[in-house]
Chains A and B, each alone.
Chain A
Amino acid sequence: MFDFGIITNWIHTQLTAVMSEGAAVFLECVIIGICLLLLYVVIAIIMIYMERKVCAAFQCRLGPVRVGPWGSIQVICDVFKMLTKEIITIRHSDKFLYNLAPYIVILASVMAFACIPISRGLEILDFNVGVLFFMAASSIGIVGILLAGWSSNSKYSLIGAMRSGAQMISYELSVGLSILTIVVLTDTMQFSEIVMRQADGWFIFKGHIPAVIAFVIYLIAGNAEVNRGPFDLPEAESELTAGYHTEYSGMHFGLFYVAEFVNLFIISGIAATIFLGGWMPLHIPGLDGFNAVMDAIPGFIWFFAKAFFIVWLLMWIKWTFPRLRIDQILTLEWKYLVPIGLLNLLLMVIVVVFKLHF
């Protein structure tokens, strides 16, 4: 398995050779920041394109075909369009908060994005409480959405924001519980470490029953966390026109739009990392030849393949199911997912204590 740490370390030694340690670190931070944002944008573009093609396939349509081969640069057009659209100032809105809101959403999304280990040695934020940091960073997004709804001076936005507040804070709990279930299994909160522990089998296999339950809960809660159908109440098109971002135009709306798609990727990426081994290839203990072949495939391909598989799964759900109602969403969370999650956590503890896992 190729370790990107070799490259990064080499760059670091080259840089320290020509400048002081502090300056080198600063320069590296800048470069990494730029790379992170670039990757963020690329992922966003791929996700939006994928969404269009996938939903077109489900709906017996073609989707974009005109711009570029198979419509592949359609999203670039949209970006140009978005950038050149007017940003409307809303009368009687709280201008500062109104303009701040999309940036908070995107900031939270970028911070959470940085937590995902893409390949061996390609972890940007990786420390011993990484899971905790990820949870904290991703929940800042709610603040942005609430601000957007509150400051827009529109009743639709306000209802949308209140819905998302109730929904996202509730589902945060289930996301946390299902991640915690795996943390119990691994006894580490560091993402790179979590991936390394899956070298002899992914957690979804190693943790068997409780891990599978946790995985399913995570998918449901994660889907709700990013406001995607069937949990897309905050922006329920047929009810609230566009929910919390009704009044946003131009690139401000674009930021919400992009953040939504990347958040979906982040949720899928984390699911892939925690349950499906992240960049770790499929290893079956005892079959060395098989494992060697699997190792030949680079880690980031493993990671993206798993992440996009889960993205596809969530898209499938989105385009099939009708939307839930707000009371049903909260019932599902508080009456079903949280108790099941808690029991599942207990089950995992029992499994770990009595060493019933593989």
Chain B
Amino acid sequence: MDHLQLAAHTFSSRLILGTGKFSSAALMLEAVKASGAQLVTVALRRFNREQLEDDLFGPLSEMPGITLMPNTSGASTAAEAIKAAHISRELSGSPFIKVEIHPNPQHLMPDPIETMEAARVLASEGFLVMPYISPDPVLAKRLEDVGCASVMPLGSAIGSGQGLASAAMLSIIIRESSIPVIVDAGLRAPSEAARAMEMGCSAVLVNSAIAASDNPAEMAAAFRDATDAGRRAFKAGLMRESSEAVATSPLTSFLGEQS
């Protein structure tokens, strides 16, 4: 079977859902269900155990077949992310932590230096670390070296809907990585999820494109199908792209001639 393997955890779905930005918890849950996702991420800042109608964690934790991956969105330093990871593990019991460190609250680009430090500490403490990063092939290898369970490079800026603007860098990361590469952020259309999977990504994470849609459950199902299609195409082996015509007379028939 073709499964997504994250450390000792196996998932048949390769679509991971973000849970913020939905117009209601009920619609979010419907979308998660329709997406077939088994792994979903939820921000620690949206855990609200004092006020259950405002809480995203509770309803997700009760969903059968769902593994929660808390995230540290809102943290701006390694120290804050580490603290948040500890609280998240205590509240959720999940071994996964999606490390998101964005010191600039406007563009939300991940800080590579702080992310590296948080990942190193948290991996050594036994967390399954899933770092959200810019598409930097060297950083991806450095994170692999310290024991991350995957790397999660952005396709393009969060909420930008610019799709796989970073495709060239992503393809280097995919080629060189020994751990799963999960494209996170920027995907707008299911076709972009399919393309990421065709490139050889292990999974994709989608939030805004589903949450902001007029029909989140339907969009989630479309992303599910596209992710599957892209993965199947990757496994089957895509035909090579070629812009050169193939000459009817061989161009290299002179090779091996005697004189």
- A and B: partners? no
Interface residues in chain B, defined as those with a beta carbon under 8 Å from any beta carbon in chain A: none
Residues in chain A within 8 A of chain B (CB atoms): none
